Amino acid sequence: MLPIEQTWLILVDLLTDLKKKGFDVPKSVNKDISLLKTSINFYKRDTSHPDMIKEFDRANIIITGVQDKLLEYAEELSLEYYNSWVDKLRRANLGEEIYKQPKTDSKFIGGAPPGFSHAKVHLKKPIAEDRVQEIAEYNNIIIEFEDDTTIALFGDSDDIKKSLKEIAPFFNE
C-alpha cells in the first residue's frame, strides 16, 4: 500500500471523528476525499505513465489541502488531539501501515455504453442475481455481476440512483 493511501485512510478517519464531535466540515472536503481516492487508484494502474504521474501530482495537491483543513479543525479541539493526528500522518508518510486495508483490485469498468452513467456496489455477502435483476428491469438499468459480492450498474444517472435506493437494504444482509 502506498503512503498516500495510508494518508487517505487517516484523513477519512479524522473527518469521521470530527463530524462525530460536532464539527461542521464543508461538503467540499467530502468531495475532495472522494476524488482523491479515484486519483490514487488511477495512478496505481501504471505508475510510470506520464498521465498517471500527473494524476499523482494532482492527488498530492488535493491531499495537502484536505489535510490542512482537517488539521485546523483538530487544532481547535485541542493540541493533544491535533498532535495525535499529526503523528499518524507523519508515520504514514514514512511508510508505516497505520490502518490495514482489505485487498480489493480496482478495475475500470469496460464496455459501458457511451453516455451511460455507472456505479459499483460491494456487498458484504453474496446475493442471488434474481433479487436485483427485477430492480434493474423496473428502473431500466443494466446490472453486471463482477463476482459474488460486486455489482456494476449502468444506465441513466437518475435511474441508477433509484436502483441504489432499492438495493440499499441488501448492503446490510
Digit-coded pLDDT (tens) for 53-91: 777 788 888 889 999 999 999 999 999 999 999 999 999
pLDDT given at position 84: 95
Ranges of the chain with pLDDT below 70: 42, 101-115, 171-173
Q: Does some domain include residue 74?
A: yes
Q: Does some domain include residue 112?
A: no
CB 155 within 8 A of CB 142: yes
One-letter amino acid at 24 equals: D
Q: Does some domain include residue 108?
A: no
Residue 88 and residue 7 share a domain: yes
CB atoms within 10 A of CB 60: 16
pLDDT given at position 106: 47
Residue 73 and residue 11 share a domain: yes
Host domain of residue 148: 117-171
Rounded-to-integer distance, Cα 167 and Cα 22, Å: 30
pTM of the complete model beyond 0.75: no
Residue 73 and residue 141 share a domain: no
Q: Does some domain include residue 62?
A: yes
Q: Does some domain include residue 110?
A: no
Rounded-to-integer distance, Cα 37 and Cα 72, Å: 22
